[in-house]
Chains A and B, each alone.
Chain A
């Protein structure tokens, strides 16, 4: 027989004892020490039957194969471009994965992507030493045009995107902004200045309140309120 010492969805710190008993199975973010299941990160406890998992509240992005990320070009080598992907490690985009065009050796690579350019790319491989390889060949993968870049905690990305993109679509519809969300917590936005402000504020609000119940309704109300005050503002001017 086991005993739970904390409730589901409770915040725990590393070293905090979540449960006692051999029945429980520690998974992501937790570990077992004899009878005890213990948190190994700052996070939210998630109890699913006998499985105990920790949902991290914070922490750097861990590159995963298949993730689509937004990276910034920080170096150009003979073989391609090195990108900062807001992670512990930088990522490499080599010539042959950058574009379907043929790039001759010794060509001026800045003609394609230059320092400071922000690119949407997909991770094709992560080695055991955490070397990351990217590709730009794929639908939607491109150099980002004029716009604003913000970073959020990667652990909040799923809430910002929402189920099947429902949350980010709601923000796009309400503000008329173009928004691209990278799995690595880097977000690109482009819109009319006032609307773009609302989109950014909404994302920050989601980031701050992601772990509190009823997020979707709160965000809906928030966006409606902002739309109203914008319309009222315009009416007053007219």
Chain B
């Protein structure tokens, strides 16, 4: 273990983190719901200095052949090198793909969007929901910031007008997406014996493993483990408990 990590652990043993937070404390969370003129749904979330924008675009397309009476959703993430010296130009790498898929999983598996209500004409036309994640500044914990922004963006998204079967993006209707409750995502990081939420980049790098948990109504709907080390069953239970507890706090931001 290198000297930097040793020091982080020493602080954690005293119950403190480098920025004086407790292990189960989030940095300040700011949700900006000011609309984006061109997106059908939009939200910008700041957790500490981590700054993520999520935009929702709606389009009409053909449904999947195996689900002819349902709409579709696609979640994408672009880690622009604007947001961090660690990001590189080019097509989405593993990190971007994982971010998109983890956020996708939370929304999809919670059945928040009633896909059947997105059907326009069975087998022929349905609504396609694009959710695009664009971080502006990565100061750790992109997973939770992106998931929260995605939930808020979906919540305030509105259908554009459809004229003669074509979408008129210039005019939005008052109609919102067919949504039931949205999930809350909490990522727990394990450092030695300590579990923490909302890591800084330093803490993310020092972490042994992480577990992202999407919670809806106190139940789990999606999970993703990351990191190089293994976790025990007991640790998993503790991480899930922590995630469920913190999810209640995050719920008020949606």
Binding site for B on A (CB under 8 A): 114, 116-118, 144-149, 190, 193-194, 197, 200
A contact residues around B3 at 8 Å (CB): 117-118, 144-147
Q: How far is the CA of A197 from the CA of B17 in the complex (A)?
A: 9
- Minimal Cβ-Cβ distance residue in B for A198: B20
Q: Tell me how far the C-beta of B200 lies from the nearest C-beta in chain A, rounded to whole angstroms.
A: 12
Q: A190-B7, A193-B11 are in contact. Are A148 and B18 (CB under 8 A)?
A: yes
Instruction: Specify which chain B residues have a CB less than 8 angstroms from the CB of A200 in the assembled complex.
Output: 18
Q: Which of B7, B14, B16, B18 has the most CB of A within 10 A?
A: B7
Residues of B within 8 A of A193 (CB): 10-11, 14, 16
A116 and B4 contacting across the interface, CB-CB below 8 Å = yes
Contacts of A194 in B (CB 8 A): 16
Chain B, interface residues (CB within 8 Å), range: 10 to 19
Most buried by B among A116, A118, A146, A200: A146
Q: Is the CB of B6 within 8 A of A146?
A: yes
A146 to B14, CA, bound (A): 15
A-B contact pairs, 8 of them (CB 8 A): A114-B2, A116-B2, A145-B3, A146-B3, A148-B18, A149-B4, A197-B19, A200-B18
Question: Which residues of chain A have C-beta atoms less than 8 A from B18's C-beta?
Answer: 148, 197, 200
Beyond the given pairs A117-B3, A193-B10, A197-B19, 12 more chain A to chain B contacts, judged by CB atoms under 8 angstroms and listed by A's residue number, are A116-B2, A118-B4, A145-B3, A146-B3, A146-B10, A147-B3, A147-B4, A147-B7, A148-B4, A148-B7, A194-B16, A197-B18
| Cβ-defined contact, A197 with B20, below 8 A | yes
Report how far A109 CA is from B205 CA in the complex, Å.
24
Instruction: State in angstroms the CA–CA spacing of A193 and B7 once bound together.
Output: 10
Q: How far is the CA of A145 from the CA of B6 in the complex (A)?
A: 9
Interface residues of B in 5-61 (CB under 8 A from A): 6-7, 10-11, 14, 16, 18-20
| Bound form: Cα–Cα A146–B13 in Å | 14
**3 A-B pairs with the lowest CB-CB distances in the bound complex, closest first:** A146-B6, A146-B3, A116-B2
Alpha-carbon separation in the docked complex, A147 to B10 (Å): 9
Residues of B within 8 A of A146 (CB): 3, 6-7, 10
List residues of chain A with CB within 8 A of the CB of B10: 146, 193
- The complex places the Cα of A191 from the Cα of B29 at a distance, in Å, of 30
CA distance A200 to B16 in the complex (A): 14
Interchain CA distance A144-B7 in the complex, whole Å = 12
